[in-house]
Copies of this chain bind each other. A is one copy, B any other.
Amino acid sequence: MADNQINYSVRTDLAVEAKDMYVEKEQEKKPNIKGVEIQNHEEKGIRVSYVKIDEEGAERLGKKAGNYITIYADGVKNQDTKSQENAAGVLASELEKLLELNHVPENGRGLIVGLGNWNVTPDALGPMTTEKILVTSHLFQLEYEMVSVGYRSVGAVTPGVMGVTGIETSEIIVGVIEQFKPDFVIAIDALASRSIERINETIQLSDSGIHPGSGVGNKRKELSKETLGVPVIAIGVPTVVDAVTITNDTIDFLLKHLGNEWNNKDRPFQALVPGGFSFGKKKLEEKDMPSLEQRKTFLGMVGTLSEEEKRALIKEVLTPMGHNMIVTPKEVDGFMKDMAHLLASGINAALHEKVDIDNFSSYTR
C-alpha cells in the first residue's frame, strides 16, 4: 500500500489494481483482443480468471505483458473456514503453475517479501502473511544434510514502508536480494480496491512485477524480471476502498435497481419509495443498467455522466473537504488474520512438496 505517510495517495495501490480491473473489463467485454488470452475456471466453488497478455496485447492495451490471475475467495468475508481452505488450495495450485510458467526450478530458492505497514492493520497483510511463512533457508545453510527431501530453501523479509523506515522500500528489497540471491521473489501486499465487492474477496496474482512504495518524484522503481533478473510474483488483496468508490458503486447499484423496478414492475418511480422495494438477493447484472433516458429521469444530469465523469465529479466534491476517506470494514482485525492465514497456507503448500493445506497448521503456531 502507499509507502508514504506524508503525501498519502491511493494512486500507488491502484497502479496494480487498475491494471487488473482493466484486464477484467477487457475480459468481459472484448473477449477477442489480439495478444490477449482469457480463460475462466471454477474449482471447489472458487472461481478463477486468467488473463495472459503478450507483447502485442501489451502495446494494444497500454499495459505490461504477463499473466494475471484473479481468485474469487469470499470465504474470509463470510467466515467460512472450509471455503477458506479451498481457496488456499486453489491459490497453491495457481501459484505453482505460475512459478512453472516462469521457469522457476523445483529447488529454486525463494524470497517472500511482505509489503506494507505493520502498524496499520488494513495495510499489514504482507507482514502478517510473512509471519506465517515456513522459512527454511537458514536450515539449508546450517545443516543441509538434515533438511528432508520435499522442502525448498525459502527466506522472508518485511521491509516496512518509507514512512516508518525513512528508506525507499525498493532499495531495501534490492539490498536484500543482492545478498540473498534468490531464484524468485513473491511479494504480498494489501491493495486499494476500485469496487466495494472486491474488498477482502479477490486474490490477485501476476508475474509482471511490483512498484513498492510511492517513490520520489516519478522515479518509482519497478522490481521485475527485467530489473532483477529473477521472476517477481505479486500477490495482492484489496483491503481498503475510498469514499468515491463507495458512492460511485452505490449510484450504479441505484441506477440498475431503479431501472429494474421500472422495467419489471411497470409502475412509476414515485410509487416506489413510500411503499418500499421488493428487491431480492440476486446480483444486478451489467444488462440491468437503464437507458440514458431513464438514467436522466432517475438521476438528472448526474445520471447522464460517463463512468469517468461521475468518478471525477464525486472526487472533486469530496477531496477538498477532506471527506474522501480511505476506509476498511469494521471487522478488519479478523479479516486480516484469516486472509493472512489463507495466503500463507497457499504459499507454503505451493513452495514445499511436503506441505499441503491440511497439515499446514502443524507448521505454524
Contact = CB atoms under 8 A, between A and B. Distances in A.
Interface of A: 4, 6-7, 81, 119-123, 131, 135-139, 141-142, 153-160, 162-168, 171-172, 174-180, 196-197, 199, 216, 240-241, 243, 246-247, 249-251, 253-254, 257-258, 269-270, 272-274, 276-277, 279-281, 283-284, 295-303, 305, 309, 312-314, 316-318, 320-321, 323, 325-334, 337-338, 361-362, 365
A179 to B, nearest CB: 4
B249 A246 contact: no
Contact of A247 (B216, B251, B281, B325): B251
A24 B267 CA distance: 38
| Dominant secondary structure at the A interface | helix
Contact of A249 (B81, B158, B323): B323
A154 B314 CA distance: 39
Given A121-B332, A137-B167, A155-B165, 10 more contacts: A123-B330, A131-B164, A135-B166, A153-B166, A154-B166, A155-B166, A253-B321, A269-B301, A270-B301, A334-B365
A270 B284 CA distance: 29
Given A135-B164, A172-B179, A302 B254 contact: yes
A87 to B, nearest CB: 15
A250 B298 contact: no
A13 B1 CA distance: 31
Contacts of A281: 320-321
Contacts of A135: 163-166
Contact of A279 (B177, B179, B247, B320): B320
Contacts of A179: 167-168, 171-172, 174-175
5 contacts: A135-B165, A250-B318, A299-B299, A328-B332, A338-B365
A245 to B, nearest CB: 10
B175 A155 contact: no
A4 B250 contact: no
Contacts of A249: 323
A314 B254 contact: yes
Contact of A250 (B142, B314, B320): B314
B138 A162 contact: yes
A329 B327 contact: yes
Contact of A166 (B136, B283, B329): B136
